[in-house]
Structure 1
Amino acid sequence: MKALILAGGTGSRMRPITHTAAKQLVPVANKPILFYAIESLVAAGATEIGMIVGETHREIRDAVGDGSRFGATVTYLPQDRPRGLAHAVLISREFLGEDDFVMYLGDNVLTGGITDVVRGFREERPDAGILLTKVTDPSAFGVVETDAEGRVVRLEEKPARPRSDLALVGVYLFTPAIHEAVRAVAPSARGEMEITDAIQWLVDHGYAVRPTVVTGYWKDTGNVTDMLEVNRSLLETLVPEVLGTVDEASELVGRVRIEAGARVERSRIVGPVVVGARTVVVDSYIGPSTSVADDCRITGSELEFSIVLNRSRIEGVGRIEASLIGRDARVRRAEHIPRAHRLVLGDHSSVHITD
């Protein structure tokens, strides 16, 4: 069974972080989101992977390589611009051949993996398999309506008036029947070839579409709020370990991982927290659900429920929470009066000031 990972999106809702980084490579729990998708596919036995890439293709290629580090082989499939999930299948026809395949959105996280789902699909082999979960705001997703027997009746992409609270999770399973379906659909009002339309075509033409409601944690990491929530969820599975150094004046509480070369001095860290390699934490507090990446420095500060990316410095700023701090950022306290906030912000930045 082959796999198709979509990693070509521009990440407009994650700006300014995605001005300088592919959204699929932004880390949660100190690992790029994309890597979780690859690992799930490999664990399920789908090791021959086609990866749809766009304008961030060089960064994706540098991070993933040929896939051997994951136990996979990766073929890169360029897409000139995002044209919809059905279009991604359409341009992957030669790579996919006549094989069944899993399509996985590269910015989605599904805890617990997909091994059982893939096994069930192989055993029953419907024409398509879709994963569903109940959501509070269906209008933001592809929505699926089922009948009293649980059969798929209707699919609709981001409907203004949803007929159901069942949303499509970003993992799909297909037999070669999908190729005829994607050739049959036209671009939607959004200008994209929707996979919901292609699956609807399968339903309308009598093909078997098997829905599975997932009970595990799933998130589409499309914005900062979702990123922080995924980070929190993944850190709940953290295995505590101290590979760096922690002095006697410091305290580690709960699930805390200190990576090799990191140093903690006169600080308190309450897990789940991961502190990256060669990062220095001095006279500070780091609270639950926080990931600090490699080569950072945190001094005289408090940090909680946040993500800090590589090489950033946080110095004497009091308490920071619910924040995503990008690479090479510097956050520090102003040393002179009058008291004022001095900001250098990129496009699409968001700042919340309390005083």
Structure 2
Amino acid sequence: MKALVLAGGTGSRLRPLTHTMAKQLIPLGNKPVIRYGIEAIVAAGISEIGVVVGGAAHELRDVIGDGSRFGARITYLVQEEALGLAHAVRVARDWLGDEDFLMYLGDNYLPSGIADLVAQYRAERRALVDAWILLAKVEDPTRFGIAELAADGTVARMEEKPAAPVSDLAVVGVYLFTPAVHEAVAAVGPSARGELEITDAVQWLIDSGRTVRGSSVTGYWKDTGTVDDLLEANNAVLEDVERSVRGEVGEGSEVIGRVRIEAGASIVRSRVVGPAVIGADVLVRDSVVGPFTSVADGCRITGSAVRSSLLLEGVRLDGAGPVEGSLLGRHARVAGPGPGTVAQRLVLGEHSSVLLAGDRTRSPQDPPQEGFKGTS
């Protein structure tokens, strides 16, 4: 069995970050989200992986490589335009051949992995099923492809982002297909969105009398397609962080709880509250970091307080006051007039520069707001 990882989308919901980087490369706990997926695929016993790439092909190749670090062999398949998931299967048709395959969306975060699902599919595969999809209950079904299950566990109906959902079971973005799907993706036309939808292809299989089964995620799952979803998934990753302090923690500094500080980092007159991750060559001075914050390599945080945030490589916070629930792209810079009391929420693209105005909502005589002390 082969695996097809889709990483060719435009990431429009994550602008401006995705103007300059693939959404699948945004890190959770300082590791690109696509790496979690590739590791899960290899752990499920699949080592032949095709990665469908678009405009960010160069950067994805640089980060993932040839797959040898994962114990896999990776082939890159170029999707010239992001015309839908079924179109990606068309692009990969020659590479896939006539084998069964797993399709995995590269921005999925599934910490429990997919080994059990793949094993179950292999046990029941051709004699009983033509496709198998992974599902999860969601609060807002209109955001996802939705499946309706029959009493015997087969999928009776699928629809992409319906205005009137038939169920609350979202298609997670993990699919197992026999070669029958190639006939389906060749048969469907563009949806109202102008894309070739994989949900339409699966519905074509159902309408053609083919058997499609569905099973539900037993653990955590997150589609990291929005800022809030990324921050939530980062929180989930950080919940499993083990304390490891390899960097330098200076006198007058405090590291509280489950914090990973990489070698080369320096904590000077500051407090780091777990769960949190501090990358290599990071300087934290006269600041508070955490909880639930990932700080990538090469960042500089001085005279600031940041929590529940993702800071990508090379970010600089200088006198920024409180920053909360933020996603800061590579080498973004935020400067301010010094300690503030009202938290800023920022979403910045690569090499952005922001100068914050002073806090005009409170008097200097007012006591500072709490909230950056944190607990472990």
Q: What range describes the TM-score normalised by the shorter chain of this pair?
A: over 0.9
Specify the alignment match of 2:37 in structure 1: 37
- Mapping of residues 40-55 of structure 1, within 5 Å: 40-55=40-55
Q: Which residue of 2 aligns with 1:63?
A: 63
The answer to whether structure 1 residue 331 and structure 2 residue 338 are counterparts is no
Does the alignment pair 1:154 with 2:151? no
Q: Deviation of residue 248 (structure 1)?
A: 3.5
User: What amino acid does structure 2 have at the position aligned with 1:73?
Assistant: R
Letter in 2 for 1:220: D
Matched, 1:197 2:200: yes
Deviates more, 1:218-227 or 1:247-256: 247-256
Take 1:91 and 1:317, find their aligned partners in 2: how far apart are those partners?
46
Cα distance in 1, alignment partners of residues 33 and 215 from structure 2: 23
1:280 counterpart residue number: 283
In the alignment, structure 1 segments of 5+ residues that lack a partner are 336-340
| 1:300 corresponds to which of 281, 298, 303 | 303
Match of 1:106 in 2: 106
Q: Which runs of no fewer than 5 residues in structure 2 stay unpaired?
A: 339-343, 362-376
Report the Cα distance in structure 2 between the residues aligned to 1:90 and 1:49, rounded to whole angstroms: 16
CA RMSD of aligned residues (A): 2.1
Q: Secondary structure at the match of 2:148?
A: strand
**1:134 aligns to what?**
137
Scaled by the length of structure 2, the TM-score of the pair is 0.88
Residue by residue over 1:158-204, the C-alpha shift from the partner in whole angstroms, topping out at 9 and shown as x without a partner, is 11111111110011111112111111211111111111111111112
**SS of 1:133's equivalent?**
strand
Percent same amino acid among aligned pairs? 61
Q: How does 1:76-87 map to 2 (within 5 A)?
A: 76-87=76-87
* Counterpart residue number, 2:214: 211
Match of 2:252 in 1: 249
Larger deviation, residues 299-308 vs 206-215: 206-215
Q: In 2, Cα distance between the equivalents of 1:76 and 1:140?
A: 29
Distance across 2 between alignment mates of 1:163 and 1:141: 12
Relative distance call for 1:272 and 1:164 in structure 2 (3 A) is same
What is the CA–CA distance in structure 2 between the aligned matches of 1:84 and 1:316, rounded to whole Å?
44
Question: Secondary structure of 2:61's match?
Answer: helix
Shift of 1:346: 6.8
Q: Deviations over 1:115-147 (max 9, x none)?
A: 111111111112111011111110110010112
Q: Give distance in 2, aligned partners of 1:40 and 1:179.
A: 25
The alpha-carbon deviation at position 265 of structure 1 amounts to 1.6
Q: Return the alpha-carbon distance in structure 2 between the equivalents of residues 91 and 81 of structure 1.
A: 10
Q: Paired residue for 1:181?
A: 184
- What SS does the aligned partner of 1:320 have? strand
Match of 1:338 in 2: none
Q: Contact conserved, 2:52 with 2:76, CA < 8 A, in 1?
A: yes
SS at match of 1:3: strand
2:8 aligned residue: 8
Where does residue 121 of structure 1 map in the other structure?
121
Q: Is 2:324 the partner of 1:314?
A: no
Q: Any idea what SS the aligned residue of 2:173 has?
A: strand
- Give 2:373's aligned residue: none
Q: Secondary structure at the match of 2:189?
A: coil
Q: Of 223, 229, 232, which aligns to 1:229?
A: 232
